[in-house]
Amino acid sequence: MNPSTRTLRVPASRLTGWMERFAAAHQGVADTTDTDDGVLLEMCDGATALLSPPWPDEGRPGRGISLVGRLISLASQERRLGIVLVRRGGYAVGVSVGGKLLAHKVGTASARSRGGDQGAAMVERVAAQAAGAFSGENFEYLATGGDKQLVESALAVPALRRYAGLARLEPLPVTDPRMDVLIRATADFCSVRIRVTDGR
C-alpha cells in the first residue's frame, strides 16, 4: 500500500508548535534537509513533512541559524499581494499585506451571459471589480484560485493586463469565493505549505 499524502498550510507564527506536535506523534525527527522545494523533515517512524515557504527569497532570505528558523523568518516577511479568486458562481478580489486585507470586492455573477457566451459576463465583472480594488497599486505577487480559465480570462482584460505578468504564488483550490473564503485564502497564501507523507 502506498503511503498517504496530505497538504496543509500553517502560519509562520504557529510553525514551531506544529513541528513539536508532529515530532511527538512520529517518534522524533531523524533528519532535516534543505531541498529545492523547501525544508524536508524525515521522522523516525518513516513519515516526512516537506515545508515550503509561501514565496522565494528573491534577495530577501530569511535569517536564522537553522533551516527551519530561516524558513520561518522568510515566511514572516510582509509581501503585498493582489488576490483574484473566481468560480462560476462568484468572485472575490483583494489587496493584502502580511496576511491582512486592505481592500476587497466580493460578489456573485452568472457564468453565462444572455448571449450564451460562456463565462463572458463573469470575466468582465471580475475584471472591473478587481481593477477597482487594486486601484493601480503595485504588487510583489499575484495570488489566484478557483477556475483557472476564468482567472486567466479576467487577467487578459485590458483593465488587468498590467498584472498578468506578475510572479504568482501557488494557486489555491477554493470553494465559492465568499468573504470568509477570501479571508482564509489571504492567510493561506502567506502560510508555510506542508506536504505530509505518512510512514510505510
Query: What pairing do the DSSP bridges indicate for beta strands 141-146 and 80-87?
Result: parallel
Provide the Cα torsion 92, 94, 96, 102; round to 10°.
Answer: -120
Q: For residue range 88-98, what is the model confidence (pLDDT) as tens digits?
A: 889 999 999 98
Rounded CA separation 166/188 (Å) = 19
Burial status of residue 166 (CB atoms within 10 A of its CB: 0-12, 13-18, 19 or more): middle
Query: 80-189 falls under which CATH superfamily?
Result: eRF1 domain 2 (3.30.420.60)
C-alpha closest to that of 144 among 185, 103, 194: 185
In the chain, where are the structural domains located?
5-77+191-197, 80-189
Cite the DSSP H helix spans in the chain: 12-25, 67-76, 120-134, 148-155, 161-164, 179-189
Q: For residue range 21-32, what is the model confidence (pLDDT) as tens digits?
A: 999 999 999 999
Q: What is the pLDDT of residue 37?
A: 93
Distance between the two ends of the chain, CA-based, in angstroms? 8
Q: Would the pLDDT of 116 be above 60?
A: no
Q: What is the pLDDT of residue 115?
A: 47
Q: Angle of helix 12-25 relative to helix 67-76, nearest 10 degrees?
A: 150
Find the farthest-apart pair of alpha carbons in the chain and give their distance in angstroms, rounded. 61
C-alpha cell at 104: 476587497
Q: What is the pTM of this model?
A: 0.89
